[in-house]
Structure 1
Amino acid sequence: MAAGSCLPEDMIRETLLRLPVQSLLRFQAVCKRWLALITSSNFILAHCKHRPKHSIMLTNTWFGENYGISMLEADATGKLDHRNLPSSPMNNAVNCRGIGSSNGLLCVYVKKTHNVDYFLWNLATGKHRLLLFPPALGNYTPRTFGFGFVPEINDYKLLIVDDASFEGHLNLRAVVYTLSTDSWKEVEGVTVSRSYLGPRISVVVQGIWYDLIFREEENIVQGTSREPQKVPSILRFDMANDVFSKIEDGLPYDNACGRNMNLMEYKELLAMGVYRDEVTTFELEIWTLMKNENCWTKLFLCRPLPKIMTMMPLGFLNDKEIILSDYSTELLYDILQLYDPSTQKSSVVSTWKSLYTSKLIITWKAWFQWMRLVIKLCADVFLTWKGSSRRS
């Protein structure tokens, strides 16, 4: 009797959907029917949605031999999971940083002496894939990045933005990598007058890349010219259609905020943290942009918080607690805190020696579309990379 033939198909599927990546890797060898089910696109997408487990991930990047990441699991009690980055793409590396993650797949930027590299790393399987930047596209100096799954086209894309600003005008060029075709292409950039990119981290939400830009305007009070006002807007890039646009109206800010705002994701919506420095306290508002992008809604008002000038909201833990990061100038440490809006209490969960440290929130799901590519690569039966340099 064939393996699993005595069980209904829907029961097998529902059982497999609840299993971790490592188990499904083994179960592909049970029979051809299970292999076809586990590697089908419908199962891949269903499994991603079925396992919404999140981790906080901190990426440590420093000079020397030790390049790695550390993760704090959502259900952990402060214990960190340390992992070394794959060694082969890190050869001759000067520095590196995690530039985005989606469904358990991490995209890493590696700066080398004479060039830069990018690679994708599947945390579930430990496999990686080098993304060779084509010389024909010319020299790009990355200013900001975007990486994520694009539901509209059922694919993953990497956006690299080069800032070639001139005379106070923001002038952005961009290239896009598409995973399914293993290809790069240059896309039409955007120029914005009297503007500049914000210092915070950009975010990809449901296939749309967002980043803050600021426009300087005259600030005259009672006939006296003061420091120019910094008026924010949001630059967006539709990763399905490779088109830039802007969101300018209705942003939740006031003139006192200046640059004290940053973007994040909340329940598949774009969210914005707007924080204000009072005399003795720190106040944080969290807003979300509705899917039609016409209205902002205030979710939380977090106060009072300790007055720490460098505090920054990074995202949400299980869509409940706000992840806050702040830097201690006295201790030279990054401090990671969780803030619960329902109780208005915060707790320190980790401290980091922050020399060359960057922070990134990763969604820890079993990302089977990439795992599927890795399996095919290892088996060398279903898929062949273009060129031996693709092998990992």
Structure 2
Amino acid sequence: MDYNEAKEFLNRLLDRERAVRPSYPDSLDEYREFLRRMGNPHNGLKSILVAGTKGKGSTAFFLYEILRKLGFKTGLYTSPHLVEVRERVRFNGRCISGRDFGRIVGKIAPHVESVGFRSVFETLTTLAFFYFRERETDYSVFEVGLGGRLDATNVVSPCVSVLTDISYDHTHVLGKRLRDITREKLGITRKNIPLVSQAQSPMVRRYVREFFHGDVFFVGKDEKVEIESISMDGVKFIYRGEEFFIPIPGAYQAMNAATAIEVVIRMGLDFDYKNVKSALKKAFWPGRFHIISKNPLIVLDGAHNLKSTKVLVDNWERVTGESPVILFTAMKRKPLKRMLLELKRIADEFVFTTLPLKRALGIDLLKKKGEEAGLKSKGFGSVNEAWAYVKSLNRPILVTGSLYLIGEVLKEEGLSPCRNIQRIDR
């Protein structure tokens, strides 16, 4: 199977997934049996699991970059992708090649067909297991897809578990109470395995201690993260008495980077902070306060729930002070009106669009919610039209609401994290 054939197979699988509309699994037993039939490719991987509501992708990426700089052969598995599906699987600074992607999907496909159904996410997770095993990774970093306890990534045996900030999202699956959400995410923990968590709210910290009785370290509480400066170029911060810089603006990204640093400490690795600083100085994670132009200012940020939207707005005010036109769309089951009211703090003009996804909100509903929030807005039925319009205004642009929208805009600009990451990294 080549790369295009593999993508076609995944698209067919996705169509079947939409038609079947499988419920969230109540155990990982079936997936474990699926892996057993293929020789348990996940066994033996020295793994780190990263779960949370926001910041888990960035934290996983920072950790991956640090481990690489320390000389370890390191794999990274994240989701969703922005432009190309192979972005999800990386090894030692590169996305998996199209050839390897197609070859491994070709190995997995007959097993998927033989059992009748496995999700796209499970299939891609299995691909990552095979690829990392082939590459003989020293460490494999897995961003949890949804929740934790029943996520496909949770079949591995982590040497460290990581929790980023926990708040409300995917409540139709994880539960409507923070207690329930926290318990689901703590499913990635193991007895006698350290847990590194971001500071969390006092309520979430209480739940963490209620459900997890092992060694837990709260970054930002047990050890402070001090912000020295934030600019368009990035953030300078102090952690454990050392000064670091990351090329992504935002105090929240300093917390994510500090969490990655603490994970390395908890792993008991012998390292020089000089190497950690060097890794973080070059670590750029696209789609997160991602500046693709400075004149006019164009920022792409995948904030897609209420808390991440609030953080984005605070960061925008702190870094720019300008009033942008906002290109926005969102998926269903989001607190849409509240997100729009937050964004209204920094913008006086909104442009709504939609995506060719079943979960995407339509233009009419977006405009209706915009009117309820008192917004001045326009709507376009395609990202192509909407992007052409906002660019014609020749004013600051903020694109947000969905990582899928960020991916479409990157395509419009001819950018891809796998093919021209240097252009993305300004």
Instruction: Give the TM-score normalised by the residue count of structure 1.
Output: 0.26
Q: Greater Rg, structure 1 or structure 2?
A: 1
Q: When you count helix as a share of all residues, which structure comes out higher? A: 2
Q: When you count strand as a share of all residues, which structure comes out higher? A: 1
Instruction: Give the TM-score normalised by the residue count of structure 2.
Output: 0.25
